[in-house]
A = this chain, B = another copy of it.
Amino acid sequence: MEAVSKLDVEAVRADFPILRRMIGDKPLAYLDSAATSQRPVQVTEAMRRFTEHSNANISRSVHTLGAEATEAYEGARAKVADFIGARSADEVVFTKNSTEAINLVAYAFQNASVKPGADPRFVLRPGDEVVVTEMEHHANLIPWQQLCERTGAKLRWIGITDVGRLDLEQVDEVINEHTKVVSFVHVANLLGTVNPTSQIVARAREVGALVGLDSSQAVPHIPVDVTELGVDFIAFTGHKMLGPTGIGALWAKAELLDAMPPFQTGGSMIETVSMERTTFAKAPAKFEAGTPPIAEAVGLAAAVDYLDKLGMENVRAHEKELAGYMLRRLETVDGLTVIGPRVPIGRGATVSFDLADVHPHDVGQVLDADGIAVRVGHHCAKPTCVRFGVTATTRASGYVYTTTDEIDRLVAALEKVRKVFA
């Protein structure tokens, strides 16, 4: 399989020290990259170098370390902006994760709604509607639910078909003249579905709603160009794209960032401050209160460099093949039902399944005994579970370092699960 894609998976694997880890006497087969990816030594090293050479707080000093740290941090911003095709580095706000990025946008609506003179696009009133989908990660559901609860707006959603795709027939009805914002998942973390975006974006534009994407599972796996997507904002997270924990990003159009009230407030996001009153700096500073994840930004920049070197088209090709291989091999397991698209089209190398009603906890435990790490549970997508009538699934997910050999080991171990719980 690997011959067709241009990734040299063995060379990639050599960069990931953790892949040499043994679980008991079995080599680790890490099939949980959708939860968090592993980090290449290039990322760890970049962070160590920064910490031991240039560590300082940013933006507010003239000493050499401070200047180096500021350049490293702003350089990371520019690199990330470039990676997703943003027009300007100032459109990238660093957050702690995707979840914070989405909350930042939801709170822009909440805060604008109690602020006299706020930009009307962000003001929600009873009668207004917010649209998500039934396949959201909780990170792109609960912030909007809470927002609706606090403003009186109504939450609506686009459903899922039996084969795990968005039910696009509902789009024109669910998104309508009451809709103020549509926020939907780009690549679904439980189903593995890669959602087509153009129809939803077009409909949102038609009704004058803002539209954004939860791209947490997209930016690491497929080429993402925000300009091409034509959306207003996207959220993504460092730890799923070979980068460190503690950093994520919101990209939003400059003009919108300007219109949004601040979320968290404190140091480094101000223009002037008196005891009575504060005026705020321009974006992105306006949204980055306090000391940001500086070393983590350096790590994320190294991760972006790594992905750039591999080439996102190659990453995508590798995962397409991998998805095909996973689906074909998993379908050979007796009693296994894939939850999500069963063809390697419009999907990533993240596959959820049920195995003969054996509880996913037990599946995961038996696989772990063979060194195979998969995720089990609701994957922070309870509504998707309900939609497919399960409380939990077992999910195997691959990335740039994943081999077909690891999939073969997974399939063999699943046979063992069936025996234990037969």
Contacts and interface: CB of A to CB of B under 8 A. Distances in A.
A64 B371 CA distance: 8
Contact of A374 (B48, B63, B99, B295): B63
Contacts of A163: none
A150 interface: yes
A364 B65 CA distance: 12
B142 A290 contact: no
A155 B278 CA distance: 13
B63 A266 contact: no
Contacts of A275: 134, 141, 155, 157, 383
A85 interface: no
A368 interface: yes
A404 interface: no
A266 B55 contact: no
A295 B245 contact: yes
A311 interface: no
A240 B67 CA distance: 19
Nearest to A114: B150
Contact of A290 (B98, B264, B293): B98
Interface stretch (A15-23, A193-201, A330-338): A15-23
Contact of A373 (B18, B30, B56, B100): B56
A130 interface: no
Interface in A44-67: 44, 47-48, 51-53, 55-57, 60-66
A361 interface: yes
Contacts of A289: 99-100, 103, 139, 142
A180 interface: no
A329 to B, nearest CB: 20
A247 interface: yes
A149 to B, nearest CB: 8
Interface string A78-113: 000000000000000000111110110000000100
A245 B383 CA distance: 35
B142 A32 contact: no
A291 B56 contact: no
A273 B383 contact: yes
B141 A273 contact: yes
B244 A295 contact: yes
Interface of A: 17-18, 21, 23, 28, 30, 32, 35-36, 38-39, 41, 44, 47-48, 51-53, 55-57, 60-66, 96-100, 102-103, 111, 114-115, 134, 137-143, 145-146, 150, 155, 157, 237, 239, 244-248, 262, 264-268, 270, 272-278, 289-296, 361, 364-365, 367-368, 372-377, 379-380, 382-383, 386
Given A138-B270, A274-B386, 20 more contacts: A17-B52, A32-B63, A44-B48, A60-B380, A61-B374, A63-B375, A64-B368, A97-B290, A97-B292, A98-B290, A99-B290, A103-B266, A137-B266, A138-B273, A145-B265, A145-B278, A155-B276, A237-B291, A244-B246, A274-B383
23 contacts: A18-B55, A32-B57, A32-B66, A35-B61, A44-B48, A48-B48, A57-B239, A62-B361, A63-B372, A96-B96, A96-B100, A96-B246, A99-B264, A99-B267, A99-B290, A100-B289, A139-B290, A140-B266, A142-B270, A145-B276, A155-B275, A245-B295, A268-B380
